[in-house]
Amino acid sequence: MRALKNASLLVVVVTNQPDLGNGLIEAKTIAAMHEKLRKRLAVDDVKVCPHRHDEGCDCRKPKPGLLIEAAREWNIDLANSFMVGDRWSDVVAGQAVGCYTVFVDRGYSEPQRATPDSYVSSFPAAARLILSLEQGGLPS
């Protein structure tokens, strides 16, 4: 994250947190976790969907609501942005708004329902890929 920040890139986390909607965790606990992310990893913002899967909201990935919200608030050009994630829903959300998608393969046993632009094995590898693409320009 620091390398991305050192390259003057904005880092926004978008996360589904259904445990909030299911009453398994308190909002203040999630807020404290996200504050640690902001401080320790130089994250600029954290956007949270607190809804359960069955609520049908527009912010829960794979829907792109949180990405659209972040783009409005931070003046982000999504077509020149990256969506990095370790679930198929991250890839679908990023594709819905035209982001370059990077899938971090963590070996989860779930079907991959979308094809990302790139695959990597870790979040540091994703950062290295982003930095190299930033220097050379996004592929068209």
Classify each residue of 83-114 as buried b or exposed e, where b means 16 or more C-beta atoms within 10 Å of its C-beta.
Answer: bbbbbbbbbbbbbbbebbbbbbeeeeeeeeeb
Q: Does domain 2-136 fall into CATH 3.40.50.1000? A: yes
pLDDT at 140 over 80: no
25-41 average pLDDT score: 87
* pLDDT at residue 13, rounded to an integer: 94
Cβ atoms within 10 A of the Cβ of 37, count? 16
pLDDT band at 125; cut points 50, 70, 90 = very high
* pLDDT at residue 35, rounded to an integer: 87
The pLDDT tens digits for 39-51 are: 888 899 999 999 9
pLDDT at 127 over 90: yes
pLDDT at 34 over 90: no
pLDDT at 55 over 70: yes
**Interatomic CA distance for residues 100 and 140, integer angstroms:** 10
